[in-house]
Amino acid sequence: MIKARIKAESSKANLISYDQTYKTFNWPDVEKEFSWHRTGKINIVHEAVDLRAMEPQKRGRKALIFEKNGQIEEFSYLDLKERSCQWANLLAQYGFETGDRFFIFLPPCPEIYLAILACARLGVLICPVFSTVNFDELAGRLNNAQPRGILTHPDLVEMIPVEAMGSVQYLFLTEGPLPGVFSNEVLVEGVVQHMPKEFTTIWLPADAPLYINYTSGSTGPPKGVVHTHGDMAGIFISGKYVLDLNEETVLWVDADPAWVTGLICGTFAPWLCGSTSLVQGDTFEAYNWYWTLEKHHVSVWYTTPRTIRRLMEAGENLPGRYDLSGLRHIASVGAPLVPDLFYWAKQHLGRSPHDTWWMTETGMICLANFPSMDIKPGSMGRPVPGIEAAILDDHGKPMPPMSLGDLALRVEWPGMMSGLWQDEDRYEDYFRFKGWFLTGDIAIKDDEGYYYHQGRNDDLLKAGGDKVIGPYEIEQVLCMHPAVAEAAVISKGTEPDKGVSFLKAFITINKGFTPSTRLNHEIKAFLKASLSSDIIVKEISILEKLPKTRSGKLLRRVLRAGELGLPGGRTLDMKD
Ligand code: ATP
Ligand code: MG
């Protein structure tokens, strides 16, 4: 853990004084900001889009900018309202009702956003799926959620497993010609535009499901996490305090809409705050990322450590060629924002990236570095107002500062998942300790309440005596060696007679270094000199790249399985 402290970047943010807001915050006050508090009529689309579309001064403001291959499409709040009503009418015409599930299996495109809003209007559960899932992954999700409809593109139809289509009555296609693979194909293009632009939004109870999102599958088979319309208070606070959104903001979330970050922070979070959401549909190219920031005057950028690493690898000369002066806040999520990435971004992008932490299950950002708060590089920050976090021991007791334990959140908060679809047992497991939600992550809290991610619960390593450590601690030290770009440390089991984990590290190396036995020895010696004597990394393997999920999370379980010859080691070739 490094001791550096970086001064807060903004005193004009929505959250001015963290300590004071945290102390006085309460959720009922936030709920008062929504019209349903007065009317009792709840639907997230009404609050996020329709209310602005009804106000003459606000309806023309940009709500969504979509860019792909140099083509830009813009949607005002009024456009989003009218066009999503057309989509809702289409779905209603095909008999879709509250409670049905609807899969959106598409690469980023505007139709995704219109369909999301249309589903929410009807109370149909939105189930976005990465367009890069493989056959088995898609079959697993279809069998689990049993959707009544799928929205996809002709190019993806071949990926749909016939045997998992039992529940699917309609396969909607954004473009023609219809591939003719399934008998229930329905062309949307050219049809939806003729639907009425008005739709009577369905009013729902706050606990009505809004979406099912499958977790990234970093620790095991993905879970179908269910969230409700009532999440809006938590989503709003994430947008307002963490992303620091307002009506002037252009927010770019460069995450796929099938990942919870893209799904929530690319849609409802900015719209509940009256901001503009920018979606860049191109695949990553460093110059294009900088150009997107400049061209669209992005003011807030929510990204991932993986993207910052790719920009860093593309070279430090590049950012200086672009005008990034409009960028006032950078936030990151999904994996540890390691100090080398933090300092690189701070130096070359002109802003500190602010690490944030949340999970599909939490429905909102729960830990964060706020623009008005000092940053401790390497820390995920402090709990968002309205969220109580703690580090628990094996018996569910809160531990004192600087202890390593299970990261837990006090139940409940608006945003907490309402269930796992068809998976009651795994759901119960999150609540093993009464009054707490167990995240499955291990972390340390310092004496000022900043949290430091240390890995996943099942990545824990045994050092000497009864000491347990997270892999992150060793990975961080490895990354301090000039040759090491990224590192993952796993246990290959317990060493006989010693009771400590047999540790193996996997690393990727920086440009300019060549893998060799000598380099391997040198890194081991470096580790030995830097770690306490009871932590000994026995083996180091140099890989081309580390296995990661589509959203860029390290898959230590895949390395473990590959090493021990267990099933699950195959995901090594998981693609973007
Ligand atoms: P699964 O639950 O299927 O194993 P997953 O947990 O990776 O997959 P997500 O819900 O997408 O699926 O990711 C949440 C996890 O991402 C967190 O539990 C945490 O481990 C990791 N994470 C999120 N933000 C951060 C962060 N800022 N630093 C470190 N890890 C993070
Ligand atoms: Mg998880």
In the prediction, which pLDDT does 568 show? 64
Q: For 436-488, write each residue's pLDDT tens digit.
A: 999 999 999 999 999 999 999 988 898 877 788 889 989 999 999 999 999 99
Give me 316's structure tokens. Answer: 């430090």
Nearest to 105 by CA among 159, 148, 67: 159
Mean pLDDT, range 378-404, rounded to an integer: 97
Share of the chain above pLDDT 90, in %: 88
Using the mean position of ligand 1's atoms as its centre, give its distance from the Cα of residue 350 in Å.
27
Alpha helices in 189-241 (DSSP H): 232-237
Question: Has residue 573 got a pLDDT over 60?
Answer: no
The amino acid occupying position 47 is E
Q: Which residues surround ligand 2, an ion (CB under 5 A)?
A: 215
Q: Is the pLDDT of residue 406 over 80?
A: yes
- Predicted confidence (pLDDT) at residue 331 exceeds the cutoff of 70: yes
Give the tokens for residue 305. Answer: 């450590």
pLDDT digits (tens, 9 = 90+) for 262-291: 999 999 999 999 999 999 999 999 999 999
Instruction: Tell me the pairing of strands 329-332 and 353-357.
Output: parallel
* CB-count burial class (<10 Å; 0-12, 13-18, 19+) for 9: buried
Locate 227 and state its tokens.
Answer: 């969230």
What average pLDDT does the segment 244-260 reach?
Answer: 97
Q: Which atom of ligand 1 is nearest to the CA of 225?
A: 10
Among 137, 218, 227, 473, residue to substitute to test ligand 1 (most atoms within 8 Å of Cβ): 218
Q: Ligand 1 — pocket residues by CB below 6 A?
A: 215-220, 222-223, 260, 333-336, 355-357, 359-360, 380, 439-441, 453, 456, 551, 553
- Calculate the CA 70 to chain-centre distance: 26
pLDDT score recorded for residue 571? 47
Tell which one of 253, 342, 360 to mutate to probe ligand 1, the residue whose CB is within 8 A of the most ligand atoms.
Answer: 360
Q: What angle do CA 93, 98, 100 make, to 5 degrees?
A: 85
The mean pLDDT value of the chain amounts to: 95
pLDDT tens, 153-206?
999 999 999 999 999 999 999 999 999 999 999 999 999 999 999 999 999 999
Q: Find the mean pLDDT for residues 502-531.
A: 94
Angle between helices 471-479 and 517-530 (to 10 degrees): 120
* Mean pLDDT across 230-251: 98
Q: How confident is the model at residue 569 (pLDDT cuts 50, 70, 90)?
A: low
What is the rounded distance in angstroms from the CA atom of residue 519 to the CA atom of residue 485?
Answer: 14
Confidence of residue 574 (pLDDT cuts 50, 70, 90): very low
Cross-strand bridge partners of residue 437: 409
Strands 276-280 and 62-68: parallel
- CA of 305 from ligand 1 middle (Å) equals 13
- Hey, which of 227, 441, 451, 550 would you mutate to test ligand 1's pocket, going by the most ligand atoms within 8 Å of its Cβ? 441
CB atoms within 10 A of CB 451: 25
Q: How many CA atoms lie within 13 A of 152 on its CB side?
A: 27
Ligand 1: which atom is nearest the Cα of residue 355? 27
To test ligand 1's pocket by mutation, which of 260, 358, 359, 426 has the most ligand atoms within 8 angstroms of CB? 359
Q: Which atom of ligand 1 is nearest to the CA of 214?
A: 3
- Per the CB < 8 A criterion, the answer to whether 568 and 574 are in contact is no
Query: Which residues contact residue 42 at a Cβ distance below 8 angstroms, ignoring those fewer than 6 apart?
Result: 36, 203, 204, 205, 206, 208, 229, 230
Ligand nearest to the CA of 331: 1
Q: How far is the CA of 225 from the centre of ligand 2 (A)?
A: 10
Which residue type does 134 have? N
pTM for the structure as a whole: 0.93
Contacts of 362 (CB under 8 A, 6+ apart): 409, 413, 415, 416, 417, 437, 439
pLDDT band at 125 (very low <50, low <70, confident <90, very high): very high
List pLDDT tens digits, range 16-63: 999 999 999 999 999 999 999 999 999 999 999 999 999 999 999 999
List CB contacts of 514: < 8 A, sequence separation 6 or more: none
User: Tens digit of pLDDT for each residue in 512-524?
Assistant: 999 999 999 999 9
Kindly list the structural domains of the chain, giving each domain's residue range(s) and its CATH number in brackets, ordered by start. Answer: 43-202 (3.40.50.12780), 462-545 (3.30.300.30)
Distance 273 CA to ligand 1 centre (A): 25
What band does 572 get if pLDDT is binned at 50, 70 and 90?
very low
